[in-house]
Amino acid sequence: MEAAGYSYQFRIALLGDAGVGKTSLLRCYVAGARGAAEPDPEPTVGVEFYSRALQLPAGLRVKLQLWDTAGQECFRCITRSFYRNMVGILLVFDVTNRESFEHIQAWHQEVVSTQGPDKVVFLLVGHKCDLSTRCVSSQEAEELAASLGMGFMETSAKSNCNVDLAFDTVTSAIEQALQQGDIKLDKDWAGVRLLHRSPNPRSSSRKQDSGTCQC
Please report whether residue 36 resides in a domain. yes
Assess contact for 27 and 103: CB atoms under 8 A.
no
Counted domains in the chain: 1
Over pLDDT 70: what percentage of the chain? 75
Predicted pLDDT of residue 201:
42
Neighbours of 181 (CB within 10 A): 7
Range of the domain at 40: 3-194
Please report whether residue 211 resides in a domain. no
Predicted pLDDT of residue 49:
82
Q: DSSP H helical segments within the chain, as ranges?
A: 22-31, 33-36, 76-83, 98-102, 104-115, 138-148, 163-180
Convert the pLDDT of each residue in 130-143 to its tens digit: 999 999 999 999 99
Please report whether residue 200 resides in a domain. no
Please report whether residue 119 resides in a domain. yes
15 vs 71, higher pLDDT: 15
Convert the pLDDT of each residue in 30-48 to its tens digit: 987 654 445 555 555 456 7
**What's the pLDDT band for 72 if we cut at 50, 70, 90?**
very low
Predicted pLDDT of residue 69:
75
Please report whether residue 209 resides in a domain. no
Convert the pLDDT of each residue in 154-192 to its tens digit: 999 999 999 999 999 999 999 999 989 999 888 888 899
Q: Within a 13 Å sphere around the CA of 193, how many CA atoms are in the beta-carbon half?
A: 15
Predicted pLDDT of residue 171:
94
Please report whether residue 210 resides in a domain. no
Residue 107, domain CATH:
3.40.50.300
Report the b/e string of 139-150 with b at 16+ CB within 10 A.
Answer: eebbebbeebeb
Please report whether residue 28 resides in a domain. yes
